[in-house]
């Protein structure tokens, strides 16, 4: 009789654990801001591949989360902003540098370039 009660308690406890784990994994969103740098870096690599030219700044931020570095300037007829998202580890110094990031370029809040071409366009604007 005792062993069947113990088995019943173990089964109930295990079932509750499985249900709680499933609920957390299903319903709690994994925000980029809450990730460690290694997870964030891997996440950013995947998300950068999903970006499409012409997307709005807000759409990119909703997908990617906050950038690691951002710069902006205004030319005579447009606002140009470049955001850097960490995608590769270079040096273990506790800092995120532009060399460790993928640049994403916006003109008037629209995505116009990614990667090295984004950085080149920004520097020439």
Q: What does 36-83 look like in DSSP terms, one character per residue? A: -HHHHHHHHHHHHHH--TT-BHHHHHHHH-S-SEEEEEE-SS-EEEEE
Q: Is the pLDDT of residue 50 over 80?
A: yes
Confidence band, pLDDT 50/70/90 cuts, at residue 29 = low
Task: Report the distance separating Cα 65 and Cα 49, nearest Å.
Answer: 15
Comparing C-alpha atoms, which of 105, 59, 116 is closest to residue 79? Answer: 105
Q: Is the pLDDT of residue 9 over 60?
A: yes
Q: Is the pLDDT of residue 1 over 80?
A: no
Q: Is the pLDDT of residue 91 over 60?
A: yes
Q: Is the pLDDT of residue 46 over 80?
A: yes
% of the chain surpassing 70 pLDDT: 96
Task: Report the distance separating Cα 85 and Cα 106, nearest Å.
Answer: 14
Domain covering 31-124, topology: Beta-lactamase Inhibitory Protein; Chain:B, domain 1 (3.30.1450)
Residue keyed to tokens 């960490």: 86
pLDDT score recorded for residue 93 = 83
**Can you give the residue ranges of every domain in the chain?**
1-30, 31-124
Over the chain, what is the mean pLDDT?
90
Q: Global pTM?
A: 0.74
């Amino acid at each position: 009789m005792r062993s069947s009660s113990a088995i019943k308690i173990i089964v109930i406890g295990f079932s509750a654990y499985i249900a709680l784990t499933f609920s957390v994994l299903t319903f709690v969103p994994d925000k980029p801001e809450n990730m460690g740098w290694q997870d964030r870096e891997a996440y950013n690599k995947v998300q950068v591949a999903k970006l499409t030219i012409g997307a709005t700044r807000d759409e990119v931020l909703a997908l990617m989360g906050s950038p690691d570095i951002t710069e902006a300037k205004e030319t005579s007829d447009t606002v140009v902003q470049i955001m850097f998202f960490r995608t590769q580890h270079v040096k273990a110094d506790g800092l995120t540098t532009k060399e460790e990031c993928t640049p994403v370029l916006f003109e008037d809040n629209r995505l116009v370039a990614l990667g090295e071409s984004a950085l080149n366009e920004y520097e020439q604007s």
